[in-house]
Homo-oligomer: A and B are copies of this chain.
Amino acid sequence: MSVNKLDATIITIGNELLIGQTIDTNSAWMAQELNNIGVWVHRRIAIGDIWKDIWQSLEEESKLSDIILITGGLGPTADDITKPLLCQYFGGKLVVDPDALANVKHIFEVFLKKPLLERNLKQAEVPDICTVIQNKRGTAPGMWFEKNGKIFISMPGVPHEMKGMMINNILPELQKRLQLPPILHRTLVTAGIGESFLAERIKDFESTLPANISLAYLPNYGMVKLRLTTRGNTPKMVAEMEAEFDMLKQQVSDVMVVDEDKSIQQVVADILLKKQQTLATAESCTGGFIAQMITAMNGSSKFYLGGVVAYSNDLKQKLLGVSSETLAKYGAVSRETVTEMAEGIRRLSDSDFAIATSGIMGPDGGTPEKPVGTVWVGMASRLEAEAHPYQFRFDRQRNIELTATYGLNTLRKFILD
């Protein structure tokens, strides 16, 4: 198979997705990976562990897509019916796969240290008409079927098991078999300008884009990513893409955070690593959210020293040295307090830079003078300190995330100055 464009559907099976128990993070990851090798996910479907619904979706989606990726429904409990269904759908019978059986036994002996149950042994059974994808990270094997020129791949729903199979088996195999033209993306990140104002500013650029290059607006927590996409990587296409991307960069240079597809925490990390400088945090209203954004990155200990979650005023004073006069006179949510917090953690940790937050995240705690969404972010270097006010609204979680994102972007500018 060598074609220019391949459409995929992702089918996610499991009642937990339909009752709101589980947020589907698998599909986004899969879509990203598939995109990178030139497969366009044009539909994503979530259905329950219901025979008729699964069957019907296989029928429908195989009419619309070339590749159908299925996750979930392969667990050891009675409600997991995907494997027998696939077996019947493709007209096979269940047989024990020796490698899958050895894997199940190995996992129980080495990791779980528990006796095997009959229902665990059943996980080593596969339809005899599929190619088995071994699961190095769990007990349920993956299955690769083909029918009428369409590819169907079934994987477990556990994220790290699915990811292991995708990376080690499925993506390389798809790439080898399909010889896809790669999808080229060039992405930049903007901050401090809304989608509609951005669109207005670059509308002339947008209207003169060549037909083979598309522009997407990807807003996320106060930032908007702009992404150019084309298919293929001939020198001519690459050159054309670069020229358009340069033009786009010029038009948004004043609001551009970075000219790559990177999170704001990664941008700050890269700057600090390059400068060989360090960071510490003092968080009140964000309650550790900034720290965990940073420490989620592998290697963050190279520039991040740590920090304080100074939720109570007592800890703000004791650990960070915020003066009781400042707290009494200006309150915890003030320019003065966040500045002292930033200076305090910087001194204490002897870091090069520090960021501090204090605000009213809601839904409670607002006053007429300081309504919900009132936020101060402070920052300090070895030489100076400054603070910036923000006014957000609504959701507690959204306010926390916006404070973290805006705060880190302000820190980026502070470090670069």
Contacts and interface: CB of A to CB of B under 8 A. Distances in A.
Interface of A: 15-25, 27-33, 35, 40-48, 50, 53, 60, 75-79, 111-112, 114, 117, 119-120, 137, 159-160, 163, 194-197, 199-200, 206, 216-218, 220, 225, 281, 283, 286-292, 294-296, 298-301, 304-312, 314-315, 318-319, 348-350, 362-364, 393-398, 400
A287 B300 contact: yes
Given A77-B195, A299-B364, 6 more contacts: A18-B43, A20-B28, A27-B46, A79-B217, A117-B197, A319-B348
Nearest to A294: B287
Given A77-B195, A218-B16, A309-B306, A44 B46 contact: yes
Contacts of A363: 298
A40 B20 CA distance: 11
B46 A18 contact: no
Contacts of A23: 23-25, 28
Contacts of A27: 17, 20, 24, 46
A252 to B, nearest CB: 14
Q: Which 9 pairs of residues, A with B, have the shortest CB-CB distance?
A: A287-B295, A288-B291, A20-B32, A288-B288, A306-B311, A20-B31, A44-B46, A76-B196, A288-B292
Given A200-B119, A301-B311, A318-B348, A31 B19 contact: yes
Contact of A306 (B29, B45, B308): B308
Nearest to A301: B311
Contacts of A32: 19-21
Contacts of A47: 42-44
A9 to B, nearest CB: 10
A218 B19 CA distance: 10
Nearest to A30: B20
A288 B315 contact: no
B287 A220 contact: no
17 contacts: A20-B30, A21-B220, A22-B220, A23-B25, A42-B48, A45-B45, A77-B195, A78-B206, A119-B200, A137-B393, A160-B394, A281-B309, A295-B400, A299-B364, A301-B312, A304-B311, A306-B308
